[in-house]
Amino acid sequence: MSKRSKLRELIAAPEILVMPGVFDGYSTRLLGASGFAAGFVTGAGVSEASLGWADQGIMGLEENLRVTRALASCYEQPLIADADTGYGNAVNVHFTVRAFDGAGLAGVMIEDQVWPKRCGHMKGKQVISAEEGAEKIRAAAEARLDPELLIMSRTDSLATHGIDEVIKRLNMYAEAGADLLFADALLATDHITTVVKNVSKPVCVNMGFGIRQRSTTPLISARRLQELGVAVVVYPRLLTAAAIQGMKNAIATLKESVESGDVIERPDLVVSFEELNDLVGIAELERIEQRYLTPEQYQQKYEHAAYEKTAVTTNPGAEL
């Protein structure tokens, strides 16, 4: 089964689809080893990790596409790309979706903020008209070369127009061709219930940090969301926030070592060299090397290593 068909099957299943957010090679590889069935590429995380700037429209299409393509190539499960607003009007959306379609993603999300957009949980959001939003979703749906590519529509209109507008827009976007509907920054369980009951396609919600409450939205368990009728939940801030906390802990410990003059051994704070290499595919690279280097090349690199031709088990062209 292709990644795209699998994603559609997971969304249609009675169990809620839990999608942690990934933003770099480490987070994507860790997600692949964790047993979760699919992942969501967080545009905020890509912007912050790659450029060092907050999610306020600083990152453009090419940087997003470059990172997202690489993540899709090292992950065997379906990934949904965060394509922001499509980087312009409906014409830009057409070419944005074509680009992500060709990059191996299982789905693409398009939102209805004014560009430059910002994180949906920040102040100062503006949205385009519902009519323009619907045309952008129609452009996205019709741009697909593969009809299995999932189109996820996002509205940020709760903060600017209220819950009735959210429902109106999501239904317009569904009619225009969206497969999955996402209302960001819903403020209460009642909002989620109202949206689920009044829209025509499966609903996705954002639970942010996953294991930590934030000031903008409630923290609700995946099981409870499933009971409310939600089809998909994403956790775009979980792994970015966890990575920052882990790095802060390691930096503080190193600083303590420097200031005290003592060696501090803290294997609980950092993975081993071997674990790091295992995570990022060293064994697979070694199998490729053994298969394609000549015996002379291999022995020159590894003087005492036994040379043995091996089958290559790679996944660069996993079915989309």
Confidence bin at 317 (pLDDT 50/70/90): very low
pLDDT of 312 > 80? The answer is: no
Mean pLDDT, range 140-166, rounded to an integer? 96
Confidence bin at 316 (pLDDT 50/70/90): very low
Residue spans per domain, the chain:
3-242, 281-320
pLDDT of 25 > 50? The answer is: yes
- The token pair that represents 132 in the structure block: 């323009």
Q: Which of 312, 260, 244 is nearest to 284 (CA)?
A: 312
Mean pLDDT, range 282-288, rounded to an integer? 94
Residues linked to residue 80 through DSSP beta bridges, in sequence order: 40, 107
- The token pair that represents 150 in the structure block: 């999932």
- 311 vs 224, which has greater pLDDT? 224
State CA 171 to chain mean position distance: 24
Mean pLDDT, range 300-304, rounded to an integer? 82
pLDDT tens string 45-94: 999 999 999 999 999 999 999 999 999 999 999 999 999 999 999 999 99
pLDDT of 272 > 70? The answer is: yes
- What average pLDDT does the chain have? 93
pLDDT of 146 > 70? The answer is: yes
Residues linked to residue 40 through DSSP beta bridges, in sequence order: 21, 80
Residues linked to residue 234 through DSSP beta bridges, in sequence order: 19, 206
pLDDT of res. 123: 78
- Give pTM, 2 decimals: 0.92
pLDDT of 311 > 60? The answer is: no
- The domain over range 3-242 is classified in CATH as 3.40.50.920: no
Mean pLDDT, range 292-302, rounded to an integer? 90
- The token pair that represents 45 in the structure block: 């995380």
Mapping DSSP onto H, E and C, the string for 41-105 reads ECHHHHHHHHHCCCCCCCCCHHHHHHHHHHHHHCCCCCEEEECCCCCCCHHHHHHHHHHHHCCCC
